Structure 1
Amino acid sequence: MKLHLVHVPLDMHAFNRWAGERELFRRGTFDAGYAFHILLSSMFGKGVLQPFRLFSSERRRKAALYGYSGSDQSELKEQAAAVAPPDCEAVVDPRRLRSKPMPAQFEGGERLGFDLRLRPVRRVRSDVHDPQLGSSLKRGSEVDAFRLELIRRFPVEPGEQTVSGAEAGVTRQSVYTEWLSERLGDAASVERCELAAFRRTRAIRGENGGPEGPDAILHGTMTVAREDEFVRVLRKGVGRHRAYGYGMLLLRPPGRRAPGR
């Protein structure tokens, strides 16, 4: 499978102007991932540069976006030259794109560090009472994996006091690590995982907004198990909302081995 890591320099002032002109603010909420999904799809085609990750600071005008693609920088520039709207090119100058080919495969047993922004959610399989809401979560609802784990492990009846994660001995980091391991499947095993950052953000999906949910960054080390599957995970991304700035598995040098390994 052909895979390239693409670097996209950005002017965030131009991006914010573009998003405002496109009326991408919904009820006072702005989702940069949703806006970049529209921008990148308009310039290169839907899913061509995906998954991706935005690196920006509120105080800085310059930013960068990284993404995986089956196309290299020359092919992306050609595509943009043919179809990209002029207002999009004011945000992303195709001439400044850079890319590098990723390995065709990784060796089984190879240790790799990772940096991953994700939205660790699960779908509710059947109606379940949520004491935090004071009502039921309906089947199919998208819920924070940590919150759902507490509800499943320690169900309470309406009117009863909610059990906290600290009281239950369950941490957000441990739940998200298990969630990640499930989604990596046979591709890799997680050796170490740290919850580096967490917040809750509201997603924008279409005209009517979208759900609020967990927005987490995990750092750690993993070991490649199946070479072919691992490259597919890089290309596809991890978890839901991969088209909107989540799920890009950025590789880093591995951390030190734990004692006894």
Structure 2
Amino acid sequence: MTTFNLMHCQPDPRKFVLWASRQGGLPAGGDFGYALHAALHRVFGERVPKPFYYRDARAGLLAYTQSSAEELREAVALCAAPDLADALGLDAGPRSPGLGVRSFPLRWDGGRALGFEVRVRPMRRFKKDDRKHGTERDAYREPEARREDEKDLTREAVYVRWLAEQFGATGAAKLIEARMTRFQLTPVMRLTQATSQPPAGRRQPRTSIGPDATFSGHLRVEDTEAFARLLMRGVGRHRAFGFGMLLLKPASVSV
């Protein structure tokens, strides 16, 4: 049985902004996604917990991990500089409970209904000209997002359809119902691919604006193994930057 844990820590927003600003990891007006990605990699290396979800200062950061509590705490002890550990709230103190880790169920029987919450970046990738890696487009802006008789389809409806596709692509789950509880357009920073142009190998920061939506709803597990992979992988794109973590809770509907 694969080890599967839920990790929690309580970053201090003020201290984390100072740390991230020194690292050049905050786009103007952007959220913490790239900076948290960089910070978690700095501490945990190959054991970096993912996907993760930072909701706000009160709720803190949640992440899934296949590492044990002992392995994570060892990484913190060996690799987390004091200022970074303090900024991420990895040590217990007056403002933080410290690093918390507990076992989380990975296997769910087919047919089981579950409540969920997930923050996603509803993008579709497509090829443009001869670009190797293609480019992305907001799923709501994609020409194929609506049929001819669906010109008035709302952004929420388009994204719900996109979410249903993500759940069903591998047969993992079927979307029962979902509602968009939060939406904004946010800048996300990523590093470009390394190039052969001088300075050789230098990766440059690039910021892009895109949809940032949170959904709550209910799903039904269709395939136990595929659903386990979905939990470990996350939903949609930009999963390394704070999107796609599927939070589960008991269902409040009968199906």
Q: Do both share a fold (TM > 0.5)?
A: yes
Name the SS of the counterpart of 2:230 in structure 1.
helix
Q: Runs of 5+ in structure 1 lacking a partner?
A: 128-138, 155-164
Query: Aligned runs of 1:32-181 on 2, under 5 Å?
Result: 32-46=32-46, 48-57=48-57, 64-95=60-91, 96-125=98-127, 140-149=134-143, 153=147, 168-181=151-164
Name the SS of the counterpart of 2:87 in structure 1.
coil
TM-score scaled by length of structure 1 = 0.81
Partner of 1:237: 234
**Distance change >3 Å, CA 250–CA 63, structure 1 → 2:** closer
CA deviation string 1:87-137 (max 9, x = no partner): 21121243411121112410111110010000000013457xxxxxxxxxx
Q: Could you tell me whether the CA contact under 8 Å between 1:31 and 1:204 is conserved in 2? A: no
**Distance change >3 Å, CA 249–CA 153, structure 1 → 2:** same
Aligned AA for 2:70? Answer: S
Percent identity of paired positions between Structure 1 and Structure 2: 36
How far apart, in 2, do the equivalents of 1:67 and 1:170 lie?
Answer: 34
How far apart, in 1, do the equivalents of 2:52 and 2:45 lie?
Answer: 14
**Distance change >3 Å, CA 31–CA 104, structure 1 → 2:** closer
Name the SS of the counterpart of 1:68 in structure 2.
strand
CA deviation string 1:186-214 (max 9, x = no partner): 01100011111111111111233222110
**Distance change >3 Å, CA 14–CA 63, structure 1 → 2:** farther
Partner of 1:220: 217
1:187 aligns with 2:184: no
How far apart, in 1, do the equivalents of 2:59 and 2:227 lie?
Answer: 29
Q: Runs of 5+ in structure 2 lacking a partner?
A: 92-97, 192-203
Q: Could you tell me whether the CA contact under 8 Å between 1:48 and 1:70 is conserved in 2? A: no
Aligned-pair distance for 1:29?
4.2
Partner of 1:24: 25
Q: Could you tell me whether the CA contact under 8 Å between 2:180 and 2:215 is conserved in 1? A: yes
Aligned-pair distance for 1:244?
0.3
> Bigger radius of gyration, 1 or 2?
1
How far apart, in 2, do the equivalents of 1:225 and 1:19 lie?
Answer: 41
**Distance change >3 Å, CA 153–CA 140, structure 1 → 2:** farther
**Distance change >3 Å, CA 196–CA 149, structure 1 → 2:** farther
TM-score scaled by length of structure 2 = 0.82
Number of corresponding residues: 231
